[in-house]
A and B are shown apart, each in its own frame.
Chain A
């Protein structure tokens, strides 16, 4: 079924709604129709005894007057509901003129690939929910079989299919069908009266073929790995020291501490510490930092962003030089550049804003993780972070380290946990001393929470930062 049929609309009706929305003098209007169907199954105490299905349907209408936004939505797509929402969004045009922007030249030169970035060999909708129950039960039984110290296992399998239709005042009509599947596992283990928890997950934009033995093996293996180190881990003595970050999940620090500061709404408003630094060196030569919507199956992949701009790969830092920010249509018009496909939103209930997709640093040429560790006399190695926070204006960040090890005389020694690393984004970028050649994109269920929740992913090769503050005993 075509998406225009799903939403019971045609182009004449869409044109009519847009004209209503612009009747008060708006410069731009776009419509975002969404029909999302979300399923979940939960395993607890060895049984899949809870599940659900959730439907979200509606249309968001945005009107822009210069940089200013009017937004409203309807949970129905009948003409009356849409006309009412259009009138509410149109009101922004009467709130003053402000700076005038030209949205008329925003047809992106880049085209979406015919194949798309969400390859699906097996449609979720062709599979009964019951088909996934054995998969969850096997996760539970395998964790318990392989690790006798297992105390509790909770596993959640969820998937969502979103049918999207976008239309704008340039007359561009865009459709997308977005699948996403996620499995998360929380396992609790006990040893001599002590407990520890491992949380692992995997999330992909593809079909139900992801429910397979390889994914199961990956989740189970990670859920039970490193337990002895976790039990033995202690808080180290704190202070300023070199920090080696492991490949993969450490990329969340790149996302939080640097990526957000590259989002062009913060630049446009003068709030980011990188405001005015385009074209300047922000880190050593040889370092490339990318935000990429074109990695097939990746949680951050976008055939189109939520403004109808085709998915693309954006180099934010090229050979150490800040070369691009991440733009939605507003910031692109403001700075006179093409949108970079970063205009994203949580659902039709939200207006799009610049958001990351898959953010990572490309591999470097400073050898391996072992080489980086060998260059440190006294420092710390971290490989799992949780709950990072950054202050955009200042660039200051704090990240909670879930696991890692001390580095003593060039070797990994005692395991550490429950510490924080604090620093400043621009200073940390400038202080990168080594980048290994082992880039890994992490496929866990990362969700970015800047005003709204959107799926993202992150990655990084192993890197060495010269000095960060480690908070310990």
Chain B
């Protein structure tokens, strides 16, 4: 979707920045299109078309730094904007740690944009009618429910969208990298009523290929999730083994990634301070970054600084192996830079080829968490408390739905109780975290 004119615009912006007094600059040009059809109770409810272009500039002027963005992209407006932006930077305090990444760290193999094969070019052939039909295919509203169904559907909201996002990143050190990514997405939320109580369920799916999706299964799974909650109630407070479904398991991994970010470390705002090289997790816990898998959502050759991504071990055999250190934080902390963040984190399975049922069987009795409802965590201490819903399971089988309960603990303590991970991570997710099992976790309700 981006073309030579867009690349020329990014280069022109860099030239204007230099003419305005910048010593160095980075220009990131973004262009996107999205078409969306939303449904309500089996009828089309909303149609939207979005088309965006914007330019973001990082300016380094006299040892000072600022970031600027605009979507007024005619050259006259751009020249005025960048000139004024350089003047703003001059008003700030110098910061010797601000710099472009060294050219040797930057990505030089994303010259076409589609090296990862994330845009098969078929989106341009999708018509408005196809979009409408696709959205309606995901709906189960009005379908014949089983005669014994103990519920009625109160409402169903669905959404189909297709989009393409392109990026051009260029800097005054000569780095130029391009990325293009297409996405087709479905999501359905269903609310049902049974004996005066309401229950809701949501399901979504996403792919870079339109034909890889099964829209009807979205509606069916959303309904299945809602119906599965009928009669849910808290169980007795206490300590249970916990199995966390892959759909929501990143809730217990994302805080680790945030705590390993150098920005949090530098601000003393992390429960993983001074953790590099230390064994803080069970040796069967392995968390890696796999950013360059062709055809996989969220794969990318470069980060927002233009630094080349690479396969890495974040936590290997329980040992913290990597902080996420961008160029700025490397200067602030006196560390070697790595990458600004995990691009496509993968928690490796300990039970290869196994799914959720195998973990339930392994644990025998406990609580299967299928969704979270509110709660938060403390980034400094790692303490957390989340509302949950799911199922009590016994002898490896769900026996009745659970809601109105909280799971409470501390991330480091929780991960010391890590039992096993399945091999069922959904490839449509940005973090590939399979179903997880932990022993002896505190639940209250």
Chain A positions near chain B (C-beta within 8 angstroms): 39, 41, 45, 47-58, 67-75, 85, 88-89, 91-92, 95-96, 98, 128-130, 133, 151-152, 154, 186, 188, 190, 195-197, 235, 238-239, 269-271, 273, 349, 351, 386-391, 393-400, 417-420, 422, 469, 471-473
Q: Is the CB of B374 within 8 A of A397?
A: yes
Q: Is the CB of B71 within 8 A of A57?
A: yes
- Complex alpha-carbon distance, A54 and B65, angstroms: 15
| Cβ of B285 to closest chain A Cβ, rounded Å | 24
Given A67-B40, A151-B268; 8 other pairs, CB 8 A cutoff = A39-B88, A49-B94, A52-B88, A91-B128, A349-B50, A351-B46, A391-B200, A400-B374
Residues of B within 8 A of A398 (CB): 373-375, 386-387, 406
- Complex alpha-carbon distance, A91 and B44, angstroms: 12
Residue of B nearest to A72 (CB): B49
Residue of A nearest to B410 (CB): A418
Q: Is the CB of B198 within 8 A of A54?
A: no
Q: Is the CB of B373 within 8 A of A53?
A: no
Q: Is the CB of A53 within 8 A of B375?
A: no
- Complex alpha-carbon distance, A129 and B66, angstroms: 12
Of the candidates B68, B381, B405, B442, the one whose C-beta lies within 8 Å of that of A52 is B68
Q: Is the CB of A188 within 8 A of B47?
A: no
Q: Is B417 an interface residue (CB 8 A)?
A: no
Q: Is the CB of A71 within 8 A of B47?
A: yes
A–B Cβ pairs within 8 angstroms, 12 of them: A50-B95, A52-B88, A70-B46, A70-B47, A186-B267, A186-B269, A270-B155, A273-B198, A349-B50, A422-B405, A469-B445, A473-B442
Of the candidates B50, B52, B387, the one whose C-beta lies within 8 Å of that of A422 is B387
Q: Is the CB of B154 within 8 A of A50?
A: no
Residues of A within 8 A of B386 (CB): 398, 420
- Complex alpha-carbon distance, A53 and B98, angstroms: 18
Q: Is the CB of A53 within 8 A of B445?
A: no
In the complex where A49-B94, A469-B404, A471-B406 touch, is A394 in contact with B374 (Cβ < 8 A)? no
In the complex where A418-B378, A471-B408 touch, is A92 in contact with B47 (Cβ < 8 A)? yes
- Complex alpha-carbon distance, A398 and B376, angstroms: 10
Q: Is the CB of A235 within 8 A of B65?
A: no
- Top-8 shortest CB links A-B: A398-B374, A398-B387, A471-B406, A389-B374, A400-B376, A393-B191, A130-B91, A49-B95
Q: Is the CB of B406 within 8 A of A394?
A: no
Residue of A nearest to B36 (CB): A71
Residues of B within 8 A of A70 (CB): 46-48
| Cβ of B255 to closest chain A Cβ, rounded Å | 13
Q: Is the CB of A188 within 8 A of B380?
A: yes
- Complex alpha-carbon distance, A456 and B386, angstroms: 25
Residues of B within 8 A of A196 (CB): 380
Q: Is the CB of B46 within 8 A of A71?
A: yes
Residues of B within 8 A of A53 (CB): 66, 68, 81, 84-85, 88
| Cβ of B301 to closest chain A Cβ, rounded Å | 26
- Complex alpha-carbon distance, A188 and B266, angstroms: 12
Residue of A nearest to B44 (CB): A95
In the complex, which of the residues A56, A85, A269, A387 has the most CB atoms of chain B within 10 Å of its own CB atom? A269
Q: Is the CB of A91 within 8 A of B66?
A: no
